[in-house]
Structure 1
Amino acid sequence: MTSQPKREIRIILTGKTGSGKSSLGNALLQKHVFKTGCSSSSISKKCVCRTEQIHGYQITVTDTPGLYDTNDDIEMKAEMENCIRLSLPGPHVFLHVISIGRFTKEDFSSIKTFITKFGRDVNRYYLLILTRFDDYKRDNNVDVLDFEGLKNNLTCEWKTLLNETFADRFFPFDNTLSGKSSVEQVSVLLQKIGDIISANNGNSYTNADFKRASQLIKEEQKRMLVELNREREAKKARIRHLEEERAKEELQRKLDEQRAKAETELQALHERENREREQRIDELRTAKAQRMHQRQLQERGDVNFEQAVHGIFQIAEFAFNIYNFFT
């Protein structure tokens, strides 16, 4: 950190496109030096830096492009470094601009991205500017911003982010003020910025701080990459294990099916053999019974023949006896 002259204030404006950064910069410098307009694409493509003498201060304002409108991490990092260089030896404060009542996912992401890129220590230099305070006053019929009440209407994630990042460092900004009222509003804002500078002992956020944060990010990314690779390998190992288990289960299933099939076929074979054996036994019994019956018939036939012959002899003998009796 480096000590800076008390009468010099270096400011960097941050926030997503359309939040009112450029309008705020014009109000701070009391000149129309930054292009403004409502567009889904960023009007400022590169960092723009302007310096003016205001209220006895040499105020340098750097308006950032849509840093959060690009998915190119290298481009974003390069433009961030450029913003710091334009504010050398470094900004005293970062003013993050959000429209009141428009705490969107994009706004949430822009703050998280800023802290990630610049490091957690940047919070000490971070001031939340809530633009469109004029709409808030009109809609709520008040002259003072109830920041706690405003946060209570937000999600838990938003409240946590605002409390951890900004604490009580916020300033409602009326976009419609002009002339003396605008000058007075800027004067109060500069006092708020002066309080932050005093709390940091006049030190500014330097390019070295940014590079140190970038180095920490690289180390964290490297650590995360190692961890990611470790998790990926562990996942591959789990997948291989599951595949092996599934292969074993499939093999066991097939073996069980083959065993069940073999047992079924063996059971069917035994049943067929039993049926054939019982059939042969029945056939043998039937044949035996038939032979016995034939034998009985034959024996019965022999007895009848003998009886018939014997009867004939008896009749013949009886006839012979009668013949002899009469002769």
Structure 2
Amino acid sequence: MVGHDPLSTRVANTLYKMVGSQLTARFRKKAGEETLPGDAVLVENLPGLPSNAVLFLNLIPWDDDEDGTAVQVLRVGINNILTSCENKGFGSVALPVLGAGIALRFPDIEVARVLLEEVQKFEQSRASKTPFLVRITIHPTDTEASEVFKAFTKNIHSPDQVSTSKRIVLLGKTGSGKSNLANTIFGEAELFATYNSPNSGTTECQTETRTVKGRSITLIDTPGFFDSERSEEDIKPEIMSCITECAPGPHAFLIVLKVDRFTEHEQAVITKILQYFSEDALKYAVIVFTHGDQLPKGKTIQEFVSKNKNLSDLVKKCGSRCHIFDNKYWKNKQQNDYRSNQFQVEDLLNTVDKMVMENSGGYYTNGMLQTVEEEIKKEEEQIKQSSGNMQQEEIRQHAKRNVSNRFLIQLAGTATGALLGAFFGVEALLRLVIKDVKGPELMKYMKGFLIGRAPAAAAAVGAEAAVVATGAAISLTTAALATGVMGGIIGHDAAEGAETAMEAAERAANAVRDKRQSVLRLQ
């Protein structure tokens, strides 16, 4: 209802036609002369209704602010409704698209976001184990609201499936400030390991989960996947670890860059990012700048980005999602100050919420991530049968480690660039990696595909597609794809039977070198 008027919305008027004046009379008796925004008035035992009670919720009209007063009142009201139902021992509640009518004017997509977030919070916090059903009731002619809610709910997982925590992967070059950013988001100074040396940095994936501003957030800090200084073989175990940590897929990628003069080095990082990411993956990406003290006074990060075409193009590909932090000088600034980490954390999390909503409430996934999740599930079942009283979270961690190690051995002969491409959804590279994991038949097909290739392409297999030189595998040209596949096939066959990733890598590298030598002798 709008304010204290029980007949101010279409739903209430429909109920009035069914019940008559007893609806308003019992409301007045229960509510008195006044209710406050967010109050829920419970009216029970109304004749002629197939329900135990009706709740009247006092809301204020939409104020064009997705985190403004109107939304906060809606959140409080939803929580009051659910708590009232719980206290009364009801088994279910039916919620309309609260506030979306002509009186309150909330956009359907905002109602969906807020309503489902509050229902999930209530589910996670309630002590009772008694089943409680929440229905969303939508008028049959309201096709727009119906589509919004269907899209938003289709990827919501229950706690016994994948954790409801939002999985966020931090990506960037060593020294960009990924680990410090993770600490800033969680508000814990030393949770993620940080290093002062430009030659150091995160050398393995670190995953932590915390509650931030009412949201469960899982941050996955990664090594410098886009560093040209590191051997691609060195980072392959960490790519596989990252894939298993965020399976069945991340809700967001945070691509971390420094506010700095945009040189050839920075452009090289952008080039690599665009090389590995698919357009679909960029729909789930946010550009986050660190070292905000370098931003000229009086300027926003959007204004800074607009001065460089390449940077501007990247941000546009990411839906114009762009934020800025300073992990050194902005720590203790006021909440309402743009140059404040408190302000930016809230703003960033709102952006992630909105992005998830725009992506139908789901996470980014592809064939590689789905395959990994399937294997994790199988591994979990095996561990459960022999683990005794091990907790679910511990079971999942064991399963992820086992699957990561197993895949790493299987993929030891696959080019690192192909593995990265598969993670971020470059389809040609995805096929290359998936075939190593799942497809003996596909292996035969790819071998057949390469029979009769030109001698130059065959020579390139030895020279460019080896485990230790992966440039060919990250190109999307037909010839380079063929050589990358051949390198993967040679390495895959050689690695079969290896007991560790290191042994598999050595076997694969030796096999490709031998292949190269035999091709050169034939020439």
Structure 1 length as normaliser, TM-score?
0.59
Q: Could you tell me how far apart the structure 2 residues matched to 1:212 and 1:158 are?
A: 20
Contact 2:277-2:426 at 8 Å conserved across structures: yes
1:162 CA drift (Å):
3.6
Partner of 2:479: 224
Contact 2:252-2:285 at 8 Å conserved across structures: yes
Corresponding position: 1:135 with 2:390: no
Corresponding position: 1:192 with 2:351: yes
SS at match of 2:192: coil
Q: Could you tell me how far apart the structure 1 residues matched to 2:350 and 2:243 are?
A: 23
Question: After superposition, what is the alpha-carbon deviation per residue over 1:235-272, rounded to whole angstroms, capped at 9, x for unaligned?
Answer: xxxxxxxxxxxxxxxxxxxxxxxxxxxxxxxxxxxxxx
Q: 1:22 to 1:71 in 2, by over 3 A?
A: closer
Q: 1:77 to 1:215 in 2, by over 3 A?
A: farther
Contact 2:186-2:212 at 8 Å conserved across structures: yes
SS at match of 1:177: coil
Question: After superposition, what is the alpha-carbon deviation per residue over 1:163-222, rounded to whole angstroms, capped at 9, x for unaligned?
Answer: 3x3241101223323356443431221111111111111211231394583651266657
Partner of 1:271: none
Partner of 1:51: 209
Corresponding position: 1:3 with 2:155: yes
Partner of 2:194: 36
Partner of 1:109: 268
Aligned with 1:16 (options 161, 173, 196): 173
Q: 1:215 to 1:189 in 2, by over 3 A?
A: closer
Corresponding position: 1:169 with 2:321: yes
Q: 1:152 to 1:205 in 2, by over 3 A?
A: closer
Q: 1:102 to 1:79 in 2, by over 3 A?
A: farther
Corresponding position: 1:61 with 2:61: no
Q: Could you tell me how far apart the structure 2 residues matched to 1:195 and 1:93 are?
A: 11
1:62 CA drift (Å):
0.7
SS at match of 1:22: helix
Contact 2:169-2:220 at 8 Å conserved across structures: yes
Q: 1:151 to 1:227 in 2, by over 3 A?
A: same
Corresponding position: 1:208 with 2:367: no
Q: Could you tell me how far apart the structure 1 residues matched to 2:219 and 2:348 are?
A: 14
1:94 CA drift (Å):
0.6
Q: Could you tell me how far apart the structure 2 residues matched to 1:173 and 1:45 are?
A: 23
Contact 1:115-1:122 at 8 Å conserved across structures: no
Q: Could you tell me how far apart the structure 1 residues matched to 2:236 and 2:210 are?
A: 27
Partner of 1:293: none
Q: Could you tell me how far apart the structure 2 residues matched to 1:112 and 1:200 are?
A: 25
Contact 2:260-2:294 at 8 Å conserved across structures: no
1:130 CA drift (Å):
1.4
Gap runs ≥5 in structure 1: 229-327
Contact 1:4-1:204 at 8 Å conserved across structures: no
Partner of 1:178: 331
Q: Could you tell me how far apart the structure 2 residues matched to 1:151 and 1:104 are?
A: 14
Identity %: 27
Contact 1:11-1:95 at 8 Å conserved across structures: yes
Contact 1:125-1:196 at 8 Å conserved across structures: yes
- The amino acid that maps onto 2:201 is I
User: Which structure has the greater CA radius of gyration?
Assistant: 1
Aligned with 2:258 (options 99, 105, 117): 99
Q: 1:82 to 1:200 in 2, by over 3 A?
A: same
- The amino acid that maps onto 1:20 is G
Structure 2 length as normaliser, TM-score?
0.38
Gap runs ≥5 in structure 2: 1-150, 158-162, 336-340, 372-421, 433-474, 484-523
Partner of 1:235: none
- The amino acid that maps onto 1:33 is L
Q: 1:99 to 1:23 in 2, by over 3 A?
A: same
Contact 1:93-1:127 at 8 Å conserved across structures: yes
SS at match of 1:122: helix
Q: Could you tell me how far apart the structure 2 residues matched to 1:125 and 1:226 are?
A: 26
The total of aligned residue pairs comes to 222
1:72 CA drift (Å):
3.7
Q: Could you tell me how far apart the structure 2 residues matched to 1:212 and 1:170 are?
A: 20
Partner of 1:85: 244
Contact 1:35-1:44 at 8 Å conserved across structures: yes
SS at match of 2:254: strand
